[in-house]
């Protein structure tokens, strides 16, 4: 059973670099905390795998972090959050385990006034219905619209997040929801890559929709959890250690875009799950 100690780091894992947007939000909200991030780059993407395989991968990633000593486990992957969270929570209790789906759904329920919420994510996340289920669990009266926006992942990883081309692609995906009579007022960014495109998406939807960033809402949920359990590290310098299961050079290059600062491959430790 993991020992909960406020001085331990917070463990964060994802199938790759997308979860670095969650880490970035966590570091901004919790500047005194230390973080241990694992990107399972050797086996990405999780979204194309069966639920059983995703659960196995998630357990192996979590075990890697727990063995190093963490006081909480953050699942910064929509697919793993959708299918593996209960298994992880049961395996590592009383270690707190938080995913990215529930915080985003909770915030969307709070923000919508029309009762019409849209979710954009990868094809597997939309097809799996995790956000739809989480939203309806909180508010059964909602009308929910989902759309896979697979090109957004490639744009984010290439660093193409602004400009006419990016906004044109955003408009192609989102314009049907901007037609007269459509009452959608809240848009959930249901993929950890999508916060990089938030400015372009915001320019396309204008003031018609509030954007819900699952990275920012997860950071708020972690802050509240640490306060509730008296596990927060309220003084001292924060920090991070980065782990990956393959190709530290690419992790550093692409991950720099997601963290918003340069990363060196020398700072990334390769691990074998």
pLDDT of the residue at 2: 56
Q: Which of 64, 116, 191, 267 is catalytic?
A: 191
Q: Are 205 and 119 in contact (CB under 8 A)?
A: no
pLDDT of the residue at 123: 85
Give residue-wise pLDDT tens across range 49-65. Answer: 888 999 999 999 999 99
Q: Set out the domains of the chain in order of their start, with CATH numbers.
A: 10-99+217-270 (3.40.50.1860), 102-214 (3.40.50.1860)
Q: Does the structure show a pLDDT above 70 at 93? A: yes
Q: Which of 64, 77, 109, 170 is catalytic?
A: 77
Q: Does the structure show a pLDDT above 70 at 247? A: yes
Q: Are 65 and 39 in contact (CB under 8 A)?
A: no
pTM of the predicted model as reported, rounded to 2 decimal places: 0.93
Give residue-wise pLDDT tens across range 116-134. Answer: 999 999 888 898 899 999 9
pLDDT of the residue at 234: 86
- Whole-Å CA distances, 203 to 23, 120, 174, 208: 25, 16, 11, 10
Strand partners for 98: 74
Is 191 annotated in the active site? Answer: yes
pLDDT of the residue at 1: 47
Is 116 annotated in the active site? Answer: no
**Cα–Cα distance between 150 and 118 in angstroms, integer?**
16
pLDDT band, very low/low/confident/very high, at 166 (cuts 50, 70, 90) = very high
Three-class SS state of 169 = helix
Tokens of 48: 């194309």
Q: Does the structure show a pLDDT above 90 at 236? A: no
Angle of helix 198-205 versus helix 164-174 axis, rounded to 10: 60
pLDDT, mean of residues 19-45: 96
């Amino acid at each position: 059973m993991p020992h909960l100690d406020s001085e331990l780091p917070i463990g964060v894992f994802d199938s790759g670099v997308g979860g670095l947007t969650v880490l970035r939000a966590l570091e901004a909200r919790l500047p005194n905390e230390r973080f241990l991030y694992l990107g399972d780059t050797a086996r990405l993407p999780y979204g194309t795998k069966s639920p059983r395989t995703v659960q196995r991968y998630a357990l192996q990633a979590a075990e890697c972090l727990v063995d190093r000593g963490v006081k909480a486990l953050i699942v910064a992957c929509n697919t793993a959050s959708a299918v593996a969270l209960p298994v992880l929570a049961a395996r590592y209790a009383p270690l707190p385990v938080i995913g990215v789906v529930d915080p985003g759904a909770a915030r969307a329920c709070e923000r919508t006034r029309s009762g019409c919420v849209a979710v954009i994510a990868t094809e597997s996340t939309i097809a799996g219905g995790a956000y739809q289920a989480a939203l309806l669990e909180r508010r059964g009266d909602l009308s929910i619209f989902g759309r896979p926006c697979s090109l957004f992942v490639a744009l984010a990883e290439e660093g193409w997040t602004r400009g006419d081309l990016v906004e044109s692609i955003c408009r192609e995906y989102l314009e049907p929801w901007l037609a007269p009579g459509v009452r959608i007022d809240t848009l959930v960014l249901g993929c950890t890559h999508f916060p990089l495109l938030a400015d372009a998406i915001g320019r396309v939807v204008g003031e018609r929709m509030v954007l819900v960033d699952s990275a920012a809402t997860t950071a708020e949920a972690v802050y509240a959890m640490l306060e509730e359990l008296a596990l927060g590290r309220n003084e001292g310098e924060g920090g991070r250690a980065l782990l990956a299961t393959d190709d530290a050079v690419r992790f550093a290059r692409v991950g720099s875009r997601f963290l918003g600062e340069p990363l060196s491959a020398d700072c990334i430790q390769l691990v074998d799950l």
